[in-house]
């Protein structure tokens, strides 16, 4: 299939990827727009993975208040250089992450931060529920594992579905931005407060 300039421009507008990469993606995908987008995403993520070990000590502390002051979020998002820390795309990403935290109330950045005792507690609840539902013994372990993974998807920021596009996780959203920004981006920590909530959580 012939790859036209118009097709390349359309893909570039949607992905912010360089023109040559857009052309290559369309060639690889045989002109299929969605496959070309996926190809660029995969390529972007491969690039992002290589950057993950770079030092990211610049960045921004984004502060967001929602619902007339009912929910407050503070999140530290790091990048490698002061130049990127001031860039609009990086600032927008930090703001989107703060919005995500306000809307979806994660408890942790990544799954490896969840205490083992909390995971065991969730597994016990999932096992008891599966038994209560009369699930066969030979599939209990698989059901428990599935429910614990679902719990991780809910409480870990990186594994949550992005509020503006549920086909993306927050981690994939960040990786897409890493590909465009050209630097490692790390969510260092966050805090979320909700009016009237108990302080001993």
Q: How many domains does the chain have?
A: 3
pLDDT computed for residue 147 by the predictor: 94
SS3 of the chain: CCCCHHHHHHHHHHHCCCHHHHHHHHHHCCCCHHHHHHHHHHHHHHHHHHHCCCCCCEEEEEEEEECCCCEEEEEEEEECCHHHHCCHHHHHHHHHHHHHHHHHCCCECCHHHCCHHHHHHHHHHHHHHHHHCCCCHHHHHHHHHHHHHHHHHHHEHHHCEECCEEEEEHHHHHHHHHHHHCCCCEEEEEEEEECCCCCCC
pLDDT computed for residue 201 by the predictor: 47
pLDDT computed for residue 181 by the predictor: 84
160 and 101 in a single domain? The answer is: yes
Q: pLDDT under 50 in the chain at which residues?
A: 201
Domain-embedded: residue 200: no
pTM confidence score = 0.69
64 and 106 in a single domain? The answer is: yes
Domain-embedded: residue 199: no
């Amino acid at each position: 299939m012939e790859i036209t300039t118009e097709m390349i421009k359309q893909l570039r507008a949607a992905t912010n990827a360089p023109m040559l990469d857009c052309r290559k993606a369309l060639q690889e995908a045989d002109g299929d727009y969605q496959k070309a987008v996926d190809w660029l995403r995969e390529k972007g993520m491969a690039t992002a993975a290589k950057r993950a070990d770079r030092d990211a000590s610049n960045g921004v502390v984004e502060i967001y208040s929602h619902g007339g002051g009912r929910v407050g979020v503070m999140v530290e998002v790091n990048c490698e250089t002061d130049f990127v820390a001031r860039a609009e795309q990086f600032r927008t990403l930090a703001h989107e992450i703060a919005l995500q935290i306000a809307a979806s109330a994660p408890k942790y950045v990544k799954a490896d931060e969840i205490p083992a005792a909390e995971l065991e507690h969730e597994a016990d609840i999932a096992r008891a529920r599966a038994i209560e539902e009369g699930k066969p013994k030979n599939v209990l372990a698989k059901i428990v594992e599935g429910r614990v993974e679902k719990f991780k998807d809910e409480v870990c920021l990186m594994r949550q579905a992005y509020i503006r596009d549920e086909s993306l996780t927050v981690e994939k959203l960040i990786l897409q931005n890493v590909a465009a920004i050209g630097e490692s981006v790390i969510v260092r920590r966050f805090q979320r407060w909700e009016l009237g909530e108990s302080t001993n959580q």
